[in-house]
Every structure is written in C-alpha cells, then in structure tokens.
Amino acid sequence: MWAMGNLRRLVGIYEADAGLVGEVRYAIRKLAGRGHCSLCDVTHRGVKSKLEWRVMCEGLSVPFDLVHLNERSPVILEASEGATPCVLAEVDDDLVLILGRDELEHCRGDVPKFADDLRIALSDRGITIP
C-alpha cells in the first residue's frame, strides 16, 4: 500500500513509436483494423491533442508525462514492458502500474471517464494526488 508515498508524476505510455515512421506505422495499423492505442484515443483526436485532455492535465498538481515505446527510459521500460498502453504513477522512487490496457480500453477515448478511472485506481492503491 502506498498511502504514505509521495506521488511525483504520472506517466502514460503509448502503444506506438515516436517519429514519422512510428506515426505512419501506427496510422496504417489503425486504418487496417489491426490495432490501436487506447491511450492515444483518450489523449488525441486525429493528430491533435484533445482540449479536454489538456484541461485535465492542467488541473493536476503533478506532471502527466506521455512517452512512446521508443522514448521509454530503462526504468519506465522495465515497469511497462508487456503492459502498454498503460499509465504509471511515480511514487517516491517506484513506478506503479495504475491503468493497464484493459482499463484504458474501457475508457473508449472518453477523457472524463479516464479521469474518473484514474482517480479511482490511485485511491484503490492508497495514492492521493497532492
């Protein structure tokens, strides 16, 4: 239980690589019906980030960083390997999986649903956003 832990930041990991080639691969895969990134569905509409996503993040008292598969640090890679897309919480010096693929899929791209699910998942683990 992380009740006494210090939440430093949240980290969302996309199920796609950054860069032009990564974005094109993702678009082709999505258009062909061979997969998508449920975190992308929450944060973006087309190639632009959703206004409601930006507003939600601005209302947080901790940073919410977003990274692609090929941008993960070794520590984030270790915490998220095989679990992407996902959201991690950095609590003190640990990374805790907060929302996994199934939970993000359940949001169906809806930012308010994501925010509620995030709050509940953090609370269930005894983590509070300062």
Instruction: Spell out the domain ranges in the chain.
Output: 7-124
Is it the case that residue 32 has pLDDT exceeding 80?
A: no
pLDDT score recorded for residue 2:
41
Q: Any idea which residue has 């632009």 for tokens?
A: 48
What's the predicted TM-score (pTM) here?
0.86
Name the nearest CA neighbour of 10 among 87, 68, 123, 93: 87
pLDDT score recorded for residue 17:
82
Q: What is the dihedral of CA 84, 88, 46, 33, to 10 degrees?
A: 20
Spatial contact of 53 and 39, defined as CB atoms under 8 Å apart = no
Q: How many CB atoms lie within 10 A of CB 97?
A: 15
Q: What is the pLDDT of residues 78-130, one digit of tens each?
A: 999 999 999 999 998 899 999 999 999 999 999 999 999 999 999 999 998 87
